[in-house]
Amino acid sequence: MIRSFALVMNMPNASPSRTPMPVAVHVLGLSVFALGTSEFMLSGLLQPIARDMDVSIPQAGLLVSAFAIGMVVGAPLLAAATLRLPRRTTLVALLAVFGLGQVAGALAPTYGVLFASRVVSALACAGFWAVGAAVAVSLVPVDARARAMAIMVGGLSIANIAGVPAGALLGQHAGWRAAFWAVAALSAVGLVGVLALVPATQPPTGADAPRLRTELAIYRDRQVWLALITTALNAAAVFCLFSYLAPLLTETAGLPESWVPTVLALFGVGALIGTTIGGRVADAHLFGTMYGGIGAAAVVMAVLALTAHTAAAAIGMAVLLGVAAFTTAPALNARMFNVANAAPTLAGATTTSAFNLGNTIGPWLGGLVIGAGWGYPAVAWLGAGLAALALLTTVVAGRVHGSASRVVARSAVPQHEREPVG
């Protein structure tokens, strides 16, 4: 299974001189597949969960926000708490807690218990993302960071192709709880992979030991805040729509509910294409990738808002949204590691928090739009507006980047590791 994942994600290099990705990076991507399946599968399960728990679809949508809230809070807290712990041990512990959270969700007797299980799972997921991202970038040269992050983000893409539609199918034919049991099993596979193939490392000691005060210094840099805001706005734009894609397809575009897993799989195919594109070009053209991906997402969502009542158009725009959104993801991740080079653990945590801050705000705003009676196409308009704001902050960051002497701790970073202009 790990070999298959590596074959999918290890696309041909643009240059034969590029260093191959370590197998441990692919193992981390495989683990992210389990995490991503859990995080995103609710987009195909909102209707059966709402019926079973006797809540509205916007209330069921808050389960997406619950997971995101746990990610926002958990990433920096767990990154700080585990700063001096062995990284492989930390990853194993977090995967174990995550799997237990899935079991609790599968057994949840009430909406409140299910909500709490999502938060606990998200805390573990956040910690894994933060530590896993730091491990991934530590295993590759600085000019391969976007490629390494593309493999981790690729785990999310493959989750959307296979995991999320499979969860929707399970929800339709075996009950939504079966999807939670399946993710618990996936997390166990990821745990075994991390134990077997991620190298064991001891945390640095003495003068090299990581210090929280030193890592917190990155938050004095405006480029870090611009990267955080851009990432959050971009995620809010995408997930404000993606969280309600299933009801948009069935209630606005007129597709039968049985089509939802297929369209979610097509979104995932688009996401994998986007991740591959972003991973190939972002290291050399960081800002260009962000401009193109965020701008394309804004256009796609605006077109979807105009054509949502046509089934074929809605399906096509869902695929293109996957391409646009995930083309940007490796660049946004690499950008944060570049501007926060002096604090790699908190850089990963900050990126995770930023993505999931957007994942929290987006579904909440989308729920408000639906609750106001404006309909699902209005959610697409909202997503397009949020993407336009993300594009604006990217332009500001590009101008600041062009005029700034360097990010935090420039003098401490060797010349060959300095950030590409992109």
User: Greater confidence, 166 or 316?
Assistant: 316
Report whether pLDDT(309) > 80: yes
Identify the domain containing residue 86 by its residue range: 20-417
Rg (the chain; Cα; Å): 20
Mean pLDDT of the chain: 79
- For residue 285, pLDDT over 90 is answered with no
Could you tell me if 118 and 70 are in contact, meaning their C-beta atoms sit under 8 angstroms apart? yes
Q: Is pLDDT of 418 > 60?
A: no
User: Predicted confidence band at 62 (pLDDT cuts at 50, 70, 90)?
Assistant: confident
- Return the minimum-mean-pLDDT range out of 217-221, 286-290, 359-363, 389-393: 217-221
Residue among 78, 86, 92, 108 at smallest CA distance from 189: 92
**Which range has the top average pLDDT, 56-60, 76-80, 89-93?**
89-93
243 in any annotated domain: yes
Q: For residues 318 and 408, which has the higher predicted lDDT (pLDDT)?
A: 318
Residues ≥6 apart with Cβ < 8 Å to 328: 234, 274, 278, 289, 290, 293, 294, 297
* Per-residue pLDDT tens over the stretch 178-194: 889 988 998 898 888 88
- In the DSSP assignment, the letter for residue 201 is -
Distance of CA 197 to the CA centre of its chain: 23
Does residue 366 form part of some domain?
yes
In a domain, 422, yes or no: no
Q: What is the CATH number of the domain that holds 236?
A: 1.20.1250.20
Rounded to whole angstroms, the Cα distance separating 132 from 90 reads 9
pLDDT of residue 3: 42
pTM comes to 0.68
For the chain, the domain total comes to: 1
Question: What would the mean pLDDT of 57-70 be, rounded to a whole number?
Answer: 79
Look up residue 339 and give its amino acid: V
pLDDT in tens, 329-364: 888 877 877 776 656 667 777 777 888 788 778 888
209 within some domain: yes
pLDDT of residue 22: 80
* Least confident segment among 115-124, 154-163, 412-421: 412-421
How far is residue 61's CA from residue 55's CA, in Å, rounded to a whole number?
10
Joined together, the tokens standing for residue 393 give: 């902050």
